[in-house]
Structure 1
């Protein structure tokens, strides 16, 4: 269990700087996914109930990207979820921001401008370096305490994540607390029965380290997506390479072939690979057994036989962790594998965490209930690191004693 203090430990009526993570997909300057807003609104609502005056720090996108925009509309969306006014100032640590912070009264909420527009927030550096940035030195004296609630960014050593806890009393918000507790469960708690990891998605670099580091901890890995095909290729099947219209496989095979072959040899008895795959046949879903198959078109999902086999393994598990979808679930023709396994997890009597924004989106898209899972994590990199027991710098600084 974490040793950091939480917002339960705060005295009421303080002036708080709260770091949240409402970074979201943006199209035509419009937020496309507001689930993070809803979760942080719960933390903020609790703080408002204790008469705190609240200034929020957050980021959106990265410099040079189309998603690197102002947070003005984010303030409006957050206010909708909170049911409470959220003021906005188009400044982060300049005179306008300081004036708006000075005017804060108990019960007020203020969102500062995109913190990544402030010099010193990026790039990553040691917390002690980030504590000396202008952002931290300017804002810290204006507040009584800092609340870290941006779990999705907790693996980033940025000023707003790691600098303030070194100079202010620091506490974990509800999102930070809940995500950390759920995502480290694989490392921190025993389970009375098999532990299963369901791993898919398109990025082998996100998945291969998980398998390699947890081979002695996890009882079985159910693989799908691009990574599943790459392991099938290593196992001698004529799949896992690019065909016309794809560029996902060959470069990842070149980059990770040695690791894949090493894992297959060292813990192949724990790997559960697809036995059939699905593809598009003139607009319809079609499936093929892997026996004797030659890849001539993209495979877009695991087959029904594989999905049922994975569902049976899930039902027999004490704990299940999911990272990455088993197919292209955005197309309902190829959502069968992902939805079948997620439904089995929801029905199972087990501890379960579904991680990664895309996979979590499938729960919403196919009308599954978040309440049927122990945790639906919207984190990506932080979730993977927590699964494998790697430290998160944004957590470590909350445990700082000075």
Structure 2
């Protein structure tokens, strides 16, 4: 179990710099609220109630992308969750930021500008190197303590995540503490019955190594989404490649074909692949212009369209396996659940988890969002993680540099 300090170890009334992860979708320039805001607001609210003066570091998007925007809207969203005013300064560690920080009083919160707008933030370098950056050296003396609550970014060796714990007292926030404990369970707990892992989503290359690295713990894997189609392709079915308008499959197949085929050969009896897939038919439904959901057995498919969910037979099979499990870990959705027509696979699995007493972790910001979308209760799951890449690394037992520097501090 981890040995880092938590905010329980903080004396009240301090000046605190907290790193959170409120990276969010941006639609037509508008930042969208998501569960990360709610989770981190709980940590911030606890700090404010202890009379801490709280300055907030976070990132949004990457340079060159449409999602690379200011955090001004993020401050407003946090204010809604905290039900109090949250300040914002369009600067991260320059004169404007330092002046705003200097006037911060106990019980007040201030969002600093997007950390990735600082040249010294992004390159992945050793923590000791990041600790010597002007970014860290300028901000650190302004605070009594640093809190890292950004578990979902803990696999990144960026200045705001690994530099500060090298030069000041460092603590884990509530999200960091809860996520690390739950997501590390697959490595630390023993289960009496079958352990099932459900793998889906679009980033197959992140999930393929998981199968090999948790094979001592996981008894069976249920595959869907892009990774499911790629394994079906390796198994000889006419799916798992791009059609016009898609760019998900071919580059991942070219880079990982050998690994996929090896994993299928070595773990085939533990891999459950879809027996049917769902797609959008050309026939419009009666109430809108969208096509109806249609399904086809994978043995009958000659791929000419995109497949957007596992079929009903597969969804039922996966749900039965979940109900028969002592523990279930989910990473990635089985279909395009944002569209109600193609949510059956994802919702069937999540509903089965909610009905059982199994230990469960549902990981990935997008997948966890489906819980509230379809009327499920978060309390029916062991843990709902907002992490993506860090969740995968925790499952495989890989170290997280953001956690390691907290432990060393």
- TM-score (normalised: structure 1): 0.97
Compute the displacement of 1:32 (Å).
Answer: 1.7
What do residues 50-102 of structure 1 show as CA deviations (whole Å, max 9, x unaligned)? 11111111111112222111111211111110012211111111111111111
Once residues 194 and 212 of structure 1 are traced to their aligned partners in structure 2, the CA distance between those partners, rounded to angstroms, is 17
| Mean Cα deviation higher: 357-366 or 390-399 | 357-366
Q: Contact between 1:215 and 1:270, CA under 8 Å: does it hold in 2? A: no
TM-score, L = length of structure 2:
0.95
Classify 1:145/1:217 alpha carbon distance in 2 versus 1 (closer, same or farther; 3 Å): same
Question: Would you say 1:316 and 2:324 are equivalent positions?
Answer: yes
Q: Distance in 2 between matches of 1:83 and 1:247?
A: 42
Aligned to 2:248: 248
Q: Secondary structure at the match of 1:291?
A: helix
CA drift of 1:124 comes to: 1.1
The answer for the alignment partner of 1:326 in structure 2 is: 334
**Aligned counterpart, 1:16:** 16
**C-alpha distance in 2 between matches for 1:149 and 1:246:** 36
The Cα of 1:158 is off from its aligned counterpart by 0.6
1:179 aligns with 2:187: no
Query: CA shift at 1:122, angstroms?
Result: 1.7
SS in 1 for 2:147: strand
User: Following the alignment from structure 2 to structure 1, what is the Cα–Cα distance between the partners of residues 189 and 28?
Assistant: 44
2:54 aligned partner: 54
Q: 1:217-240 deviations in whole A, cap 9, x for unaligned?
A: 210000011211111121122222
The answer for the alignment partner of 2:288 in structure 1 is: none
Q: How many angstroms apart in 1 are the aligned matches of 2:293 and 2:178? A: 39
Aligned to 2:287: none
Residues 120 and 247 of structure 1: is their aligned pair in 2 closer, same or farther, counting only changes over 3 Å? closer
1:286 aligns with 2:294: yes
TM superposition shift of 1:350: 0.9
Matched residues in 2 for 1:87 and 1:291: separation? Answer: 58
Tell whether 2:390 aligns with 1:350: no
Map 1:2-401 onto structure 2 (within 5 A): 2-281=2-281, 282=283, 283-401=291-409
Output the CA distance in 1 between the equivalents of 2:295 and 2:64: 42
Q: 1:298 to 1:68 in 2, by over 3 A?
A: closer
Q: Distance in 2 between matches of 1:299 and 1:94?
A: 50
Quick one: distance in 1 between partners of 2:317 and 2:51? Answer: 52
d(CA) in 1 for partners of 2:248, 2:116: 31
Give unpaired runs (5+ residues) of structure 1.
none
Question: Which secondary structure state, in structure 2, belongs to the residue aligned with residue 85 of structure 1?
Answer: coil
Secondary structure of the residue that 2:308 maps to in structure 1? strand
Q: 3-state DSSP class of the match of 1:176?
A: helix
Aligned partners of 2:305, 2:29: CA distance in 1, in Å?
Answer: 36
The 1-side partners of 2:378 and 2:89 are apart by 34
Residues 320-364 of structure 1: per-residue CA shift (max 9 Å, x gap): 111111112122111111111111011111111111122112222
User: Residues 164-198 of structure 1: CA distance to partner in whole angstroms, max 9, x if unpaired?
Assistant: 00111110000100111111110111112111100
DSSP-derived class of the 2:222 partner: strand
Distance 2:115 2:242 in 1: 40
Taking the aligned partners of 1:115 and 1:252, their CA distance within structure 2 comes to 31
What are the ranges of 5 or more consecutive residues in structure 2 without an aligned counterpart?
Answer: 284-290
Aligned pair in 2 of structure 1 residues 88, 275: CA closer, same or farther (>3 Å)?
same
- Partner Cα distance (1:245, 1:30) in 2: 26
Farther-moved stretch of structure 1 (207-216 vs 311-320): 207-216
| C-alpha RMSD over aligned residues | 1.3
Q: Is the 8 A contact 2:33 2:77 kept in 1?
A: no
The 1-side partners of 2:299 and 2:65 are apart by 44
Kept in 2, the 8 Å contact 1:353–1:373? The answer is: yes
Distance 1:193 1:91, change over 3 A: same
Distance change in 2, residues 1:67/1:298 (3 Å):
closer
8 Å CA contact 1:204, 1:256 repeated in 2: no
CA distance in 1, matches of 2:245, 2:72: 39
